[in-house]
Structure formats: C-alpha cells, structure tokens
Amino acid sequence: MTDMTVDGPGASAYSLAELARAADVPARTIRYYQSEGLLPRPSRRAGQAVYDRLHLERLRSIGALQSRGLRLQTIREVLGESGESTSDVADLLGPEIAGAAWLATSARTLDEGELADLLGDAYPDQVGSLVSVGYLERRLGPDGRGVWYCASVPQLRGALELRTIGAALELSAWASNELRARLRDMSELFVGRWIAESGRLYRGTATREDFDAKLERLRAVAWQSAAHVMAEEMGRAIQRSDEIRERVVAGDFDFGAGLESAE
C-alpha cells in the first residue's frame, strides 16, 4: 500500500511490514514502541493497520536519539505526543538531536532482548569481545537476574560502526579512552579559564551555582563544537596520512600501552 494518498498530514500509507522496511526497524519493535506510547497507534482501513509518513518520521527521530544513548523513557519525554521537541537546545543543536534530554547519562542497563536490538548483526558473536575490551559488563539486576551494563551507548555504537570498516574493537576502545582523557583535560582548562576571567571576559560569577544554571546550554555548545571540530580535523588528518605514516615509522608517536596490548 506504499504511496497511497491518505487523509491528514501523512502523505503516504504503509502497512506494518512496509513501515518496518522503510524505517529499518523490526516490526516487533514498532509494536513495542506503540505499547510504550512512543509511537501513535495506526489508523484502520478495511480491518488493516495503516501507518503514514508521520509514523516514519517519528521512528527516524527515535532512532536518531537512541544513537546518542537516550533511553526510551527520555525519548518519550523529549518527543511528547506530537513528536516535536520544545527545548531551546534543539534550536542550537538542530532537529536531528531534537531535544535537551540527550543530556541524560548515556549509560544503560539492558536485558538480553534490548542488548540484541542494540547490537544488531553483531549479536551474539561480538558480545564476548565487547566485554573483554570494556564496552559491556555483566551485572545482577535488582531482582537478582543477570543484566548487561553499558557505560556509554554512543561509544559502543561508534565501535560497532568502526568495526564495519575494519577497525578492531580493541583499537576503538583505545581511541575512546584517549578521546575521553584529552577532552577531560580540555574541559577542565576551559572551566578554569572562565573562572579566571569572571567579571572580565566572562560576565558570570563562575560559581558552581552559576555553571549549574547554564549546564544545558554549555553541554549543547560542547556537543556541537567538539563534534564539528573533530570531524573537520579527522578529514585533514586523512589528507595528511602519508606524512603521518612517515612520522609513525620515525617513532614520533607514543600510543601508550593500550594500543600495544591490542596489537
């Protein structure tokens, strides 16, 4: 029934199977989103469920937010009934981020089904490797049952994506640790400079209360700026890869014990 005209804002009609293919989301997941209030129920036509373009856009928004580590409960709060975010941070980050709730921690506890959905084709073959390099940890839940703990869903997703282009999980874990360590140092440097410039170049008080009140926008700027600069500099580094190869051969880089153990 794809591309049939329907009444209302959705311009196309989809069966459940067609919507699943268009959104690249399993049909069982679509049903689950409906039961959790994340996705509106379909209309009915001749006893058949009919989905429209708004359902497809909503599924894509959910996927974009999940890729940044947001929990489904948080996504529901961000998108609301209409699927539109009301946060001013969305204006800064753009519609792809779609809300301030990405500020929530990226750590997640998952049952076996949720882990399978998160890993996709990498489940179950790569579970052991993800545990060994630190992306996953087996824990006991409140009810005494085994659960999976992921300290950073975005970093795990990044590792799986890099694996598709030939980067071993050990190499991704090393890169993740290096990135976090360097960004931690830079963040402390920036906050230190704002404290030093309080009353001059920075017109805030630079107290904990002052920073807490502005945390949402500070983290939004950090997200946008760091991602943009990193993407630009990665492109420049790739263009200079022949020069960098010569420096590697000359021993100019100290990769630390983490990478050596991966080799």
The three-state DSSP-derived secondary structure of 156-218 is HHHHHHHHCCCCCHHHHHHHHHHHHHHHHHHHHHHHHHHHHCECCCECCCCCHHHHHHCHHHH
Give the pLDDT confidence score for residue 77 in this predicted structure.
Answer: 67
Which residue from 35, 77, 31, 84 is spatially nearest to 57, judged by alpha carbons?
A: 84
The residues near 242 (Cβ < 8 Å, ≥ 6 apart) are none
Give the pLDDT confidence score for residue 81 in this predicted structure.
Answer: 55
Inform me whether the pLDDT recorded for 14 exceeds 60.
yes
Q: Is the dihedral of CA 93, 41, 73, 119 positive or negative?
A: negative
Helix (H) or strand (E) holding 137: strand 137-140
End-to-end CA distance of the chain: 52
The pLDDT confidence band at residue 70, using thresholds 50, 70 and 90, is: low
CB atoms within 10 A of CB 22: 17
Give the pLDDT confidence score for residue 36 in this predicted structure.
Answer: 84
Structural domains of the chain, with CATH? 13-101 (1.10.1660.10), 105-167 (no CATH), 169-263 (no CATH)
120-133 confidence digits (pLDDT tens): 889 999 999 999 99
Q: In this structure, are residues 78 and 87 in contact, taking their beta carbons and an 8 Å threshold?
A: yes
pTM of the model: 0.62
